[in-house]
Amino acid sequence: MRQFVLKCGKYFIFSLFLILMSVSCDEIQDSQVPNVPFSFTINLNIVNELTIPGNSVFFPMAGYGGVIVYCELEDSYFAYDATCTYEVNQTCKVKNEGVLGTCSCCESEFFLFGGAYPASGPAVAPLKLYNVSKVNSYTLRIYNN
């Protein structure tokens, strides 16, 4: 009976640890970048570099610090705010170069694939993620409202 209680205690502690880790992960992903409502469309016939996987394009007039749209795979797109999550202000912008973005102030680097998590530097939170929907075969809608 004692072994059973010890075994259950280990599972309880492990489960508690997992729950605490999942709660802390949610807090990390909550962005400190201010929420600025916007919506715009991209014509892929004009911005055709976004039809090539691994490419990204910066759009300065949306979001808090501009929006980086990244093409992960054919017909798979992600949009991120270009504001660095370490120094949240409109002058510290992440400059995109394909799959990598680098902050102009703290030099944190972010991988634009898989959630824009930091690769190096002082930033620990990923870039703020925005919504992307495909309107038709050549138009993307980027929005957060």
pLDDT tens by residue, 10-43: 444 444 343 444 444 433 345 688 999 999 999 9
Q: Can you give the residue ranges of every domain in the chain?
A: 1-30, 39-143
Non-local CB neighbours of 28 within 8 Å, separated by 6+ positions:
124, 125
Q: What angle do CA 16, 30, 19 make, to 5 degrees?
A: 5
Question: Model confidence over 55-101: pLDDT tens digits?
Answer: 999 999 899 999 999 999 988 999 999 999 998 888 889 999 989 99
Structure tokens at 39: 């919506």
Nearest-angstrom CA–CA distance, 101 and 38? 22
Please provide the CATH number assigned to the domain covering 39-143: 2.102.10.10
pLDDT at position 2 is 61
Please return the burial class of 88, using the count of CB atoms within 10 Å of its CB with bins 0-12, 13-18 and 19+.
Answer: middle
Task: List, for residues 96-119, the tens digit of each pLDDT value.
Answer: 998 999 998 999 999 998 889 999
Cβ-contact 142, 42 below 8 angstroms: yes
What does the mean pLDDT of the chain come to?
82
